[in-house]
Amino acid sequence: MTVPNEHLLFLAAILFAIGVCGFFVRRNSIMVLLSVELMLNAANLTFLAGSRMHSTAARPELSGPIFAIFVILVAAVEAGVGLALVIALFRRKQTVSLDQLNELGD
């Protein structure tokens, strides 16, 4: 028994929606970065589903899985830089809440 492609796409859409909601609702910058990871993983799932839809036994379609691997890499690097900046800010302000980001502005 195989999972139908539609299920993968629905799961991806739900993950993406949770990610977007989390991004706008959460006030903790680490949780916001985590929401971004969720969005990127939704994209990965869609890439894999797309690859399955377009593959035939004679001609496998591999650019989707390859893209997914690179997205994992991008997500890791982005999390690395993001967390480094969170730490840099925490050292100054002793908080990681986005509501406390109020140095800038008129």
Partner 1 sequence: MEYWDGMKAIAPELWLTGFALLALLVDLLTKGRNSRTVGYVTLAGLGVTALALMGQSERVTAFGMVEVDAFGRFFKLFTLAALAVVCVFVMSDRRERQHGIGEYYFLLLGAAVGIFFMVSTNNLLLLVLGLELLSLASYSLAGFHKGNKASAEAALKYVIFGGLSAGVMIFGISLLYGLTGTIDLAEMATLGGEGLPRGLVSQLAASPIPVGIAVTMVLAGFAYKISAVPFHFWTPDVYQGAPTPVTTFLAVASKAAGFGALLRFLGVMFVRGDVQGLVADYGGQVGLLIAVLAAITMTVGNVSALGQSSLKRLLAFSSVAHAGYLLMGVATMNNEGFSAALYYMAAYYFMNLGAFGVVLYFEGVNGNDHIDSLKGLGRKAPLVSIVMVAFLVSLTGLPPTMGYYGKFLLFTAAIDNGMTWLAVIAGLNSAISLFYYFRIAKALFLEEPSDESVPRTQPIFTGMLTAFGVCTVLFGLYVSPIMQWVVSSMDLLG
Closer residue to partner 1 (CB): 1 or 41: 41
d(CA 77, CA 44): 16
DSSP 26: -
When binding is defined by CB under 8 A, the residue of 1, 57, 99, 105 that contacts partner 1 is 105
d(CA 6, CA 9): 5
DSSP H or E segment with residue 86? helix 63-93
Q: Is residue 31 at the binding interface for partner 1, with CB under 8 A as the rule?
A: no
Residue in the block written with tokens 């390859």: 66
Residue count of the chain: 106
Q: Is residue 14 at the binding interface for partner 1, with CB under 8 A as the rule?
A: no
> Which stretches of the chain bind partner 1, using CB under 8 A?
9, 12, 16, 19-20, 23, 29, 32-33, 36, 39-40, 42-44, 46-47, 49-51, 53-54, 56, 61, 63-64, 66-67, 70-71, 74, 77-78, 81-82, 85-86, 88-89, 92-93, 98, 101, 103-106
